[in-house]
Structure 1
Amino acid sequence: MSAPPLGEPDEELSELRRATGNRYTIVKRLGSGGMAHVYLARHAALSRALVVKVLHRNLARDPEMRERFRREAEAAARLVHPFVCAISDMGSSGDLEYLVMPYYAGGSLADLLARQRTLSPTIAASTAVQVSCALDYAHRRGVVHR
């Protein structure tokens, strides 16, 4: 899910800079999914690596999708657990909706499986335990992962 470094900033990135008061410097696009673009960024003042997730504009124009994105970010922000990625910021401006979370190097489980094809029993068991613990924690707080 990696992408080349960004060239000239597009409209989305310009709007993101305005919306965040230039708190984040976008380094590169990490990828895109069905709902959002995901960028690697640095906090301008703290020089900390972060991920900025920006809802696709066509979805952000739909009030129901904007509300769903916000509700999911707010629910995730209430979860404080070692195996749950924290939400550190969120916001909107015009038809831009974004959320910010820490960056963890190494990629996703899907990336790891694409590289290695299989996991050792120890890694597979450890991963299953971590995911199960995180989902249990979320479910006990009324949050369902989709």
Structure 2
Amino acid sequence: MSIDTAAADIDSLLETLEAVFAGEHDLIANAANMAALLFQTLPEVNWAGFYLLQGDELVLGPFQGRVACVRIPLGRGVCGTAAERRETIVVPDVHEFPGHIACDAASRSEIVVPLIRAGRLVGVLDIDSPVPNRFSDADRTLCEAAAALLIRSLDT
């Protein structure tokens, strides 16, 4: 069961993010607000947040939801795989993803968007849902656009 995010909802959420980011250039501050906004706005989501690159692993950053895994090696799990490939990964059922790292057993589907700044990996945006096949193409569009806004906020 996929829940489509309407184009108007996407535009509204992105406008809200732009307003929240206005005048702020700190990654942690903006990531924290973005995680809160996505967690509160997107239906049927049980975790929304960030893993930030430190050395050769992703380290837990700002998030909303239950306690999470702290360190994820590049190439491991959905987050590490998306980071290593530098491409968005949408997983309809995490139990079918090879090497999935189960931080919350209630999670069933996941979307992970890499954060790329000036050609370098900064980290990933990670959103989980207890609903299988939760994330649609519209959700992918929203998450990728939100991630791009976050990265742009660091430079302006």
Length-normalised TM-score, structure 1: 0.25
Flag the structure with larger Rg.
1
